[in-house]
């Protein structure tokens, strides 16, 4: 995952959500760098920070979806659950060694997250904007 990967597609129109995505992606880039340099202690710390932040971010998104009665809430929440499970599984593999394969799988995770932001989260942002403009 390069720093500018998909950046133009990552604007949802919700400032807080976009800022959280930027932080989430920064943590992922730092994690990938630590895996690339075989710095397992740093990678473990970054996995933990990313896990905590991702869970908090997903909770915020899910509250936003409930607040706006988002019709795709269940499917969106299910995707969040899959990301959390995958991140947990990736972190569990760190002590096993083989950081090259773990780095590749973490990079694939990051790319799926980028696609989620560019599509599913962007749809949520568009829905939220449509609800805000019809209420005004």
Average pLDDT score, the chain:
90
Which residues, at least 6 apart from 38, have a Cβ–Cβ distance to it below 8 Å?
99
Residue whose structure tokens are 């989620």: 116
Mean per-residue pLDDT for 20-28? 96
Reply yes or no on whether the pLDDT at 5 is more than 80: no
Q: Which residue has the higher pLDDT, 86 or 5?
A: 86
Confidence grade of residue 17 (pLDDT, cut at 50, 70, 90):
very high
Percent of the chain with pLDDT over 70: 90
What confidence tens digit (pLDDT) does each residue in 77-120 have? 999 999 999 999 999 999 877 788 999 999 999 999 999 999 99
Reply yes or no on whether the pLDDT at 62 is more than 50: yes
Q: Are 87 and 50 in contact (CB under 8 A)?
A: yes
Q: What is the pLDDT of residue 3?
A: 41
Q: Are 34 and 46 in contact (CB under 8 A)?
A: yes
Cα angle vertex 51, ends 46, 53, to 5°?
A: 95
Spans of all domains in the chain: 73-131
Query: Is 107 in a helix, a strand, or coil?
Result: helix
Percent of the chain with pLDDT over 90: 79
Mean per-residue pLDDT for 15-25? 94
Rounded Cα distance between 61 and 43, Å, is 26
pTM value is: 0.88
């Amino acid at each position: 995952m390069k720093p500018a990967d998909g950046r133009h597609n990552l604007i949802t129109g919700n400032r807080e959500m976009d800022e959280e995505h930027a932080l989430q992606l920064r943590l992922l880039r730092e994690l990938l760098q630590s895996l690339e340099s075989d710095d397992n202690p740093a990678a473990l710390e970054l996995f933990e920070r990313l896990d905590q932040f991702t869970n908090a971010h997903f909770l915020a998104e899910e509250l936003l979806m409930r607040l706006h009665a988002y019709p795709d809430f269940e499917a969106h929440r299910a995707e969040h659950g899959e990301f959390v499970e995958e991140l947990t599984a990736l972190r569990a593999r760190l002590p096993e060694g083989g950081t090259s394969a773990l780095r590749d799988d973490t990079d694939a995770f990051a790319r799926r997250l980028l696609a989620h932001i560019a599509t599913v989260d962007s749809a949520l942002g568009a829905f939220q904007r449509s609800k805000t403009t019809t209420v005004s």
